Amino acid sequence: MIGTLAQPLLILACCALSLVWTSAAQAENLIKQPGQHNKYSWELEPHLYIRYGGYWGAEWGHGAGVGPGIRASIPFMHNGPIKTINNNIGISFGLDTPFYFNGGMAFDIPVAFQWNFYFTKIISVIGEAGLLSSIWTGHDHTQFYAFPIIQGAGRFQFGKVGIVARVGFPSTSVGANFQF
Question: What separation in angstroms does the CA of 87 have from each of 77, 102, 159?
Answer: 9, 42, 17
In whole angstroms, give the CA distance from residue 78 to residue 80: 6
pLDDT of residue 23: 46
Confidence (pLDDT) at 10: 58
Domain extent at residue 100: 2-179
User: In the 8-state DSSP scheme, what is residue 82?
Assistant: S
pLDDT recorded at residue 4: 55
Which CA distances in Å does 1 have to 28, 47, 65, 84?
38, 21, 12, 41
Residue 113 CB contacts under 8 Å (≥ 6 apart), including other chains: 89, 91, 92, 128, 129, 130
CATH number at residue 142: 2.40.160.20
- DSSP annotation of 4: H
pLDDT at residue 35, rounded to an integer: 78
Query: What's residue 57's pLDDT?
Result: 45
- What are the pLDDT tens digits along the chain (180 aa)? 455 555 655 565 555 555 445 444 445 788 888 878 888 999 999 999 999 875 544 455 557 899 999 999 999 998 888 999 989 999 999 999 999 887 889 999 999 999 999 999 999 999 999 999 999 888 888 989 898 999 999 999 999 999 999 999 999 999 999 999
Spatial separation of the C-alpha atoms in residues 109 and 118, rounded to whole Å = 27
Domain count, the chain: 1
**Coil, strand or helix: which one is 13?**
helix
What is the pLDDT, as a whole number, of residue 124?
94
Helix (H, G, I), strand (E, B) or coil at 11: helix
Rounded-to-integer distance, Cα 26 and Cα 151, Å: 27
